[in-house]
Structure 1
Amino acid sequence: MANWFQQFLLTAAVLLLSPLALSAEESNDGSVVINPIKIIEPEGQQSKSDQAKIDNEVFEAGFFLGMISIEDFGTHPLYGVKASFHATEDFFLQANYGRSEAGRTSYETINGSGINILTDADREYSYYDVLVGYNLFPGETFVTRNLTFNSAFYLIGGVGNTQFAGDEQFTLVVGTGYRIIFSDWLTWNLDYRDHMFETELLGHKKRTHNIEFATGLTVFF
């Protein structure tokens, strides 16, 4: 009984004090045999994801398509072009030009086709603006385990000019957007904008909110 207890203490001491992390086992003749513990290396290697990112380009240009709700005149297709300058990783300047065409008001529709508040030419709606953007939540979009795109959710705002109903109106613009960088030269954008200006077109002065939803592609150069 004493011999077994002594062998147990010797084995425990070797395991605790050895810097090489050895293991012990008892042979047939009762002696202690020390064997090193084998370390099993994993066979697989960690996969690396491919990530599209911008190199050193700071200019961006492209087109957009979408819909705009012209207050009192319905929602209609919108198209235009945009250009951006990325001053830093967080801030960028953007210029936009868009065109649409307003429909008929509910007043014109209810009172028949003979009443027209605007001529066909006056229903053309166009704008240009200069905006400042801020990348609020830059991050990554994982399409698959091995395919990752850089992306950013941004805030944007600025001023511009709207031509509608034969008049030009100073316009405030605020909105948000989401950008995914497909490669070092191609991006996809999804934008929401509110174009605000004052008008007296329907007999009283009021501030109108003209909501835009648009998507488009841009290239870096």
Structure 2
Amino acid sequence: MVNRIKAGLLVSSLLWLSPFVCAQQANSSTARIEPEIEQSQVTPAKLDSENVVLALRGGVIAIEDFGSSGLVALQLGYHINEDFYVNAEFAQAKAGLTSYERLSGAAAPLLTDSEREWRYYGAELGYVVLPGQVFLGRNWAFNTGWSIFAGGGNVDFAGDKVFAVKLGSQFRLYMTDWLALDLQVTDYVFETTILAESKTTHNLQLGLGLALYF
């Protein structure tokens, strides 16, 4: 009889203490663990929200059959959103001599000086494929954007005006919030009959310039 009374008292004591034990376990399981690693402060990039871009570019263009010449281009662009943009461009160069003119000592020039003026004006649509960053050391990071574009316009050359397709790629390095360095590779594709036969010419251009955001 005594053993039964002791057993009953033990069970009652355990039942009375069980809520306090569970509460203590719950408090210990929800305790916060503070990390010992100190987090670094990150400063987000500050870029202007303006969407209008004015770019001036200089470079070299290889006019098919006429060698390489210097080129100057002026662009006015508008960024539709973070991915797409449109540009209007005017570019100018002056064609050199053909291989025939070089061999003949330029005794029989194919074109006059005014006809050697090469001009392009047109528009294009671009898409930013890879936005990213370039790091120079530990403390300097510059935003970048690599894009592709396609468009069309007119080429005035050799006394004729023809339609040209423009294809290319552009890499832009943002040096400040309003100034960017612009590297561009372009192919102007158009039909020509200058050398007495109709053919499709590819005129490759490599240019470097500056882009202003406002």
Query: TM-score, structure 2 length as denominator?
Result: 0.80
Measure, in 1, the Cα distance between the counterparts of 2:186 and 2:98.
Answer: 22
| 1:128 and 2:121 correspond | yes
Give the AA of the match of 2:80.
A
Distance 1:107 1:40, change over 3 A: closer
Structure 1 residue 100 corresponds to structure 2 residue 90: no
Where in structure 2 are the equivalents of 1:41-56 lying within 5 Å? 46=40, 48=42, 51=45, 53-56=46-49
1:1-80 matches, cutoff 5 A: 46=40, 48=42, 51=45, 53-80=46-73
Change over 3 Å in CA distance of 1:203–1:40 after alignment to 2: closer
1:147 maps onto 2:140 in alignment: yes
* Residue 179 (structure 2) aligned to one of 186, 208, 219: 186
Q: Report how far residue 47 of structure 1 moved.
A: 5.8
Equivalenced residue count is 185
Change (3 A) 1:40 1:203: closer
Q: What is the aligned partner in structure 1 of residue 159 from structure 2?
A: 166
Q: When the two structures are superposed, what TM-score results if normalisation uses the length of structure 1?
A: 0.78
Identity over aligned pairs, percent = 36
Partner secondary structure for residue 123 of structure 2: strand
Residue deviations 1:120-179 (CA, integer Å, cap 9, x gap): 110011111200000001111112212111111100010111110011110000000101
Q: Distance in 1 between matches of 2:35 and 2:47?
A: 41
Question: Runs in 1 of length 4+ with deviation above 2 angstroms?
Answer: 39-42, 44-51
Out of 104, 107, 110, the position equivalent to 1:117 is 110
- State the superposition RMSD in angstroms: 2.0
Where in structure 2 are there 5+ consecutive unaligned residues?
Answer: 1-24
The one-letter code matched in structure 1 to 2:158 is A
Relative to 1, partners in 2 of residues 1:118 and 1:104: Cα closer, same or farther, differing over 3 Å? same
Partner AA of 1:213 in structure 2: L
Q: Are residues 99 and 40 of structure 1, via their aligned partners in 2, closer, same or farther at CA, if it must alter by over 3 Å?
A: closer
| Local SS of the residue matching 1:192 | strand
Deviations 1:180-214 (A, max 9, x none): 11111111110000000001110110000000100
Unpaired runs of at least 5, structure 1: 1-16, 21-38
In structure 1, distance between residues paired with 2:208 and 2:51: 21
Match for residue 209 of structure 1? 202
Cα offset, 1:218, TM superposition: 1.0
The answer to whether structure 1 residue 200 and structure 2 residue 186 are counterparts is no
Q: For the structure 1 residues 93 and 158, does the alpha-carbon distance in structure 2 shift closer, same or farther, using more than 3 Å as the test?
A: same
Matched, 1:83 2:76: yes
Task: Tell me if structure 2 keeps the 8 A contact 1:198–1:208.
Answer: yes
Give the letter aligned to residue 204 of structure 2.
I
Measure the CA separation in 1 of the matches of 2:35 and 2:169: 52
Q: Given the superposition, is the C-alpha separation of residues 105 and 140 from structure 1 closer, same or farther in structure 2, using an over 3 Å criterion? A: same
User: What's the secondary structure of 2:172's corresponding residue?
Assistant: strand
